[in-house]
């Protein structure tokens, strides 16, 4: 094994845009709680074109990387190995560098979703609905493959997106039916609704929240709450937030990069809440 240039270890989040990322706040809070005083976690504006050069220049002090859009697929050809979880959705959000120089890719978004739901008492559902059909929706489908025993209905805006979601369903062995976005208010009656759309997209659905809603998992965290989440809570429904997801997937990243387990979930959540409140 090559000697490390220094005992200090480094990690960072890469993406574009990246200035909004809470990952540095969460990971640094974990390092503080774990007593890893010689660890640092940075943030770099990197796109698909600059990613290969960035990774090639990393020295032996680097422990790992967190990846956000648009790099989750672009990084795969640069890795030596990826996990089955990452391969299932063709997306890597975590890279760990081994001491012998190998680059190992994983996806902690999927188990992070499952863990966030479990924390709110959702171990299994007999059906679910997904709002949207982007990259996050495919991760949501992969999470539902682990906890949903029946049909998943995906509400989308185009036939092309509908076809993509049906293909993901076949690949992930999930029973997927697609429906038009114009009927998205029907999604709100499901035992579990996962909203994967950009900010503002679901605002118009807030007035359609049923009197006794079940569980909403809204992957957004800033701004928070969304109109839909606020209305859902007002009617007594359970709400899982994007911050819940962000913290749980970051916990898994910290454990993989540092080799320390369990990662300090509550310290990381508190740091994230404090940072969001300050924005």
Q: Is 72 a catalytic residue?
A: yes
Q: Which residue in 57, 72, 189, 274 is the catalytic one? A: 72
The maximal CA–CA distance of the chain, rounded, in angstroms, is 62
Digit-by-digit pLDDT tens for the chain (279 residues) are 333 434 799 999 999 999 999 999 999 999 999 999 999 999 999 999 999 999 999 999 999 999 999 999 999 999 999 999 999 999 999 999 999 999 999 999 999 999 999 999 999 999 999 999 988 999 999 999 999 999 999 999 999 999 999 999 999 999 999 999 999 999 999 999 999 999 999 999 999 999 999 999 999 999 899 999 999 999 999 999 999 999 999 999 999 999 999 999 999 999 999 999 998
* Contact residues for 118 (Cβ-Cβ < 8 A; gap 6+): none
CA distance 239 to 219: 10
Phi, psi for residue 85 in degrees, rounded to 5? -60, -45
CA distance 51 to 74: 8
pLDDT at 134: 87
Q: Are 132 and 179 in contact (CB under 8 A)?
A: no
- For residue 128, what are the β-bridge partners? 152
pLDDT at 5: 39
Phi, psi for residue 30 in degrees, rounded to 5? -65, -45
């Amino acid at each position: 094994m090559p000697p490390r240039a220094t005992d200090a270890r480094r990690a960072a989040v890469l993406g574009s845009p990246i200035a909004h990322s809470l990952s540095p706040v969460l990971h640094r809070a974990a390092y503080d709680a774990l007593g890893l005083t010689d660890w640092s976690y940075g943030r770099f504006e990197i796109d698909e074109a600059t990613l290969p050069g960035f990774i090639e220049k990393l020295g032996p002090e680097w422990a790992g990387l967190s990846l956000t859009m648009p790099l989750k697929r672009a990084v795969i050809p640069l890795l030596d190995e990826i996990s089955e979880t990452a391969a299932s959705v063709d997306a890597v959000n975590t890279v760990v560098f081994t001491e012998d120089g190998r680059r190992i890719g994983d996806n902690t978004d999927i188990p992070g979703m499952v863990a966030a739901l479990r924390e709110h008492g959702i171990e299994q559902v007999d059906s679910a609905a997904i709002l949207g059909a982007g990259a996050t929706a495919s991760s949501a489908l992969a999470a539902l493959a682990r906890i949903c025993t029946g049909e998943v209905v995906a509400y989308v805006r185009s036939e092309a997106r509908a076809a993509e979601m049906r293909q993901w369903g076949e690949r992930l062995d999930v029973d997927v039916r697609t429906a038009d976005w114009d009927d998205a208010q029907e999604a709100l009656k499901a035992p579990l609704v996962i909203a994967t759309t950009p900010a503002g997209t679901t605002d118009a659905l807030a007035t359609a929240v049923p009197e006794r809603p079940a569980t909403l998992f809204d992957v957004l965290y800033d701004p928070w709450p969304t109109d839909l989440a606020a209305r859902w809570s007002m009617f007594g429904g359970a709400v899982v937030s994007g911050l819940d997801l962000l913290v749980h997937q970051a916990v898994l990243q910290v454990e993989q990069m540092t080799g320390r387990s369990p990662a300090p979930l509550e310290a990381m959540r508190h740091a994230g809440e404090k940072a969001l409140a300050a924005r």
